[in-house]
Every structure is written in structure tokens, then in C-alpha cells.
Amino acid sequence: MASSCQRCGAALNIGASSCPSCGAPVAPAAQPSNIISALCYLGFAITGIIFLLVEPYNRDEDVRFHARQSIALSVAWIAFSIVMGVLIAVLPGPLSHLFIMLNRLGDLALAILWLFLVYQGYIGNRFRVPVLADWADAVPF
């Protein structure tokens, strides 16, 4: 099925990397496994676990990588939230306010990382979060 150029509307051949008429680059269509890789992150650990169990996705190494990394990111985020919550609860006033701010900054950073990983899964890139990817590789399934 041929598509058309977004810039000039000319017909494009399947697999074309640029428009034959105007030379504009053509974005490759997302592959089904790329979409599933991105979906692994959307439901945090729940979708990661689901795609590790559902056939045929549990045999796709890209999907398995993103599912395991999604689970590791979810566990790390929960652990971070618990530690910060305990520190905020037990520390006195000024220190508590400092950790509230650090908690918010940490949540923002983790949310940006999460969005970045969704995008990386969608474009088919296996971006390895330094410590989390190592944890994910250690998962036996």
C-alpha cells in the first residue's frame, strides 16, 4: 500500500526513505513490535508483566527488553516514593520541606525518563537506563 508525501503529496513507494518528487525524508512506519514496546511502559509494571506473558510478544526480544525495563523502572519509582515518604514523615519541619521538594523533583525526573522510554520503545531503540537495564537483564523470565 503506497502512501503520500506529507510535504508535497506525491505518491511514495513502499519502503521509500525520501520523496522522489521533493526529496523530503519519509518517517518509517512504526512496526507492531515497536508499538507494543512503547505500550510496555504505559501501564508501568502491569503492562510489562502482561507482555512478558502474552504470546507472540513474549518471544520478541525487543518487547521482552522493554517489558523487563518497565518493571524495573516501576519498582525503582515505588521504592523512591516509599523512601521519600518515610523521610518526609520522620524529619522535622525544615528538613521535611527540603525532602518534599526533592521528592517532587525526583518524580518529575522519573516522569520525563518514563516518557523518553515510551518514545524510545516506539522508535525501536533499546535505550538502556544504566542501573535499571542491568536489573532487568537479571530477571530470569
pLDDT at 41 over 70: yes
**pLDDT at site 79:** 95
Percentage of the chain beyond pLDDT 70 is 94
pLDDT-derived band at 18, boundaries 50, 70, 90? confident
- Pairwise CA distance, residues 53 & 36, whole Å: 13
Domain limits, the chain = 1-29, 31-138
pLDDT at 15 over 80: no
117, 41 Cβ separation under 8 angstroms: yes
Q: Which of 19-28, 50-59, 93-102 has the lowest mean pLDDT?
A: 19-28
Find the mean pLDDT for residues 5-26.
82
Find the mean pLDDT for residues 23-47.
84
Residue 61 class from Cβ within 10 Å (0-12 exposed, 13-18 middle, 19+ buried)?
A: exposed
Between 13 and 97, where is the model more confident? Answer: 97
pLDDT-derived band at 116, boundaries 50, 70, 90? very high
**pLDDT at site 2:** 52
Give which of 73, 65, 76, 78 is closest to 141, Cα–Cα.
65
Find the mean pLDDT for residues 22-51.
86
pLDDT-derived band at 1, boundaries 50, 70, 90? very low
Cell of 49: 508483566
Gyration radius from the chain CA atoms: 20
Find the mean pLDDT for residues 11-32.
78
Find the mean pLDDT for residues 98-123.
95
